[in-house]
A = this chain, B = another copy of it.
Amino acid sequence: MRIAIDAMGGDHAPKSTVEGALAAAKEWSDIELILVGRKEELEPLLKEAPANITLHHAEEVIEAEDEPTRAVKRKKDASMVVAGRLVHDGLADAMISAGNTGALMTTGLFVVGRMEGIKRPALAPMIPTLDGRGVLALDLGANMDSKPEYLAQFAVMGSIYRRKVHGLENPRVGLLNVGTEPGKGNELTKAAYPLLEGLPINFVGNVEARDVLTGACDVLVCDGFAGNILLKSLEGTAGALFSLLKQEFTKSLKNKLAAAVLMPSMRGLKQMMDYKAHGAAPLLGLGGLVLKAHGSSDGEAFMNAVRQAREAVKAKLNDSIAEEISREQVGQ
């Protein structure tokens, strides 16, 4: 299988992307990695590259500050766009990028292209949970105003992803809502509820925001607006609490000494709550697999993203999604 990597995307690229690619190519002999980016910068880093890494030149780079849609339109020879084209043309089975998120979603939609029958692709990061299973939340992307049938498609795609890529047998799918009773919610969630009930998934009903972290479900379905509010308030609250704790813990010498003992535990917790550390987020519902790695990814994070891509391609994730969507006429 062939996996394209946007070698220029991410805060530490191309060092991080090349390091990750080298490690992954060594680990798995059944993959071919295509590093897409500026030859001049990549070649020096790839002197002792194994045979299953190839370089694909792309002259331009989309920057973090670029306006997404315009950047994808104008920079036709950007590493991200070229990687997307490889997927579109069937020359790669998957692509990974740690670049500009908006630009990657635009690349997914307009370069890779939507999967037939899918109304809206969805960005699906993992949110850490207390029980360590994590929850795949979708959509955390650009679909600010969703329709009930989009949510139904998100539910099916998320459920298949967790089954095929994470090996969960019967993933519990929840609908982000303001109460657990079926009649609760806004117009969107009230209309989505019966649609989700009718799907061949393990729908566990409405899930309140406060129960997400305790692991109430394995897949959390929501529109992009509510999902953003959820994710950013998790992030904000955790950050605020840690900074408050730090303040309290350095108030006196006594506190400082006690806090020093607890520091390793605190650091572990902080890491656990950092959703960015929990792997690359798939963009589901496209003609090929696209994975968004976090901007700050290092070599190890890229290697892990390759692992995810490999699992998904091996498990024929996209074929399963396409089949299920068309067989059940989900959202049609």
**Residues of chain A whose beta carbon lies under 8 Å from any beta carbon of chain B:** 130, 144-145, 176, 178, 185-187, 189, 208-214, 223-226, 228-241, 243-245, 248-249, 251, 254-255, 257-262, 265-266, 268-269, 272-273
Q: A186-B224, A241-B269 are in contact. List 9 more A-B contacts (CB 8 A).
A: A144-B185, A186-B223, A209-B228, A209-B229, A209-B231, A210-B233, A210-B239, A214-B240, A244-B269
A267 to B265, CA, bound (A): 18
A237 to B245, CA, bound (A): 15
Can you name 12 A-B residue pairings with CB atoms under 8 Å? A130-B240, A209-B236, A213-B237, A229-B229, A237-B238, A237-B241, A241-B269, A241-B273, A244-B269, A251-B265, A258-B261, A259-B262
B262 touches A236 (CB 8 A): no
A112 to B63, CA, bound (A): 56
**How far is the CB of A35 from the nearest CB of chain B, in Å?**
32
Cβ contacts under 8 Å, A223 to chain B = 186
Q: Which 3 A-B pairs have the closest CB atoms?
A: A210-B236, A248-B265, A209-B232
A273 to B238, CA, bound (A): 11
Cβ contacts under 8 Å, A235 to chain B = 210
A108 to B47, CA, bound (A): 74
Cβ 8 A contact of A265, one of B214, B249, B272: B249
**How far is the CB of A34 from the nearest CB of chain B, in Å?**
33
Q: How many chain copies?
A: 2
A51 to B156, CA, bound (A): 66
**How far is the CB of A147 from the nearest CB of chain B, in Å?**
12
B186 touches A145 (CB 8 A): yes
A229 touches B226 (CB 8 A): yes
B248 touches A262 (CB 8 A): yes
Cβ contacts under 8 Å, A243 to chain B = 130
Cβ contacts under 8 Å, A259 to chain B = 258, 262
Best-buried of A145, A229, A230 by chain B (most CB within 10 Å): A229
A233 touches B224 (CB 8 A): no
**How far is the CB of A70 from the nearest CB of chain B, in Å?**
14
Closest chain B residue, CB of each to CB of A213: B240
B178 touches A225 (CB 8 A): yes
Cβ contacts under 8 Å, A244 to chain B = 130, 269, 272
**Assuming A178-B229, A186-B225, A212-B233, is B255 touching A261 (CB within 8 A)?**
yes
**How far is the CB of A179 from the nearest CB of chain B, in Å?**
8
Cβ contacts under 8 Å, A213 to chain B = 236-237, 240
B233 touches A230 (CB 8 A): yes
A251 to B239, CA, bound (A): 23
A249 touches B269 (CB 8 A): no
Cβ contacts under 8 Å, A238 to chain B = 237, 241
A178 to B259, CA, bound (A): 35
